[in-house]
Amino acid sequence: MGNVILTIQIMPVSPETDLNKILEEAKKFAEEFKYHFAKSEEVPLAFGLKSLNITISYDEKRGGSDEFEEKLRAIDGVNSVEVIDARRAFG
């Protein structure tokens, strides 16, 4: 068996949304789910809006990430959450 590596795009409700607060909540939820939080990146989109892309990994035996994604969607200031990359790693 291997690990699942996901990159998740978190879209804020506005350019004024504090992405650092969203990031801290996302890290807290990753810890709750016992996921490894690998990295985060703010990606400029348009008109001052940035997405927060986070990369996590976990043992593929655990199944999908639907519950984790729902927790992310519930964070204040989050408009949408989408898995933009999914990979399997062995070793």
Q: Render pLDDT for 49-83 as a digit per residue (tens, 0 to 9).
A: 999 999 999 999 998 999 999 999 999 999 999 99
**Average pLDDT in the 9-21 region?**
97
Task: Provide Rg for the chain, Cα atoms.
Answer: 13
| Domain 3-89, architecture per CATH | 2-Layer Sandwich (3.30)
Q: What is the mean pLDDT of residues 1-8?
A: 93
pLDDT given at position 40:
98
- The whole-angstrom distance between residue 61's C-alpha and the CA centroid of its chain comes to 19
Predicted confidence band at 25 (pLDDT cuts at 50, 70, 90)?
very high
Q: Say how far apart CA 83 and CA 10 lie, in whole Å.
A: 9
Q: What is the pTM of this model?
A: 0.94
**Which candidate, 88, 91, 74, 73, places its Cα nearest to that of 8?**
73
Provide mean pLDDT across the span 4-19.
97
Question: What residue ranges do the domains of the chain occupy?
Answer: 3-89
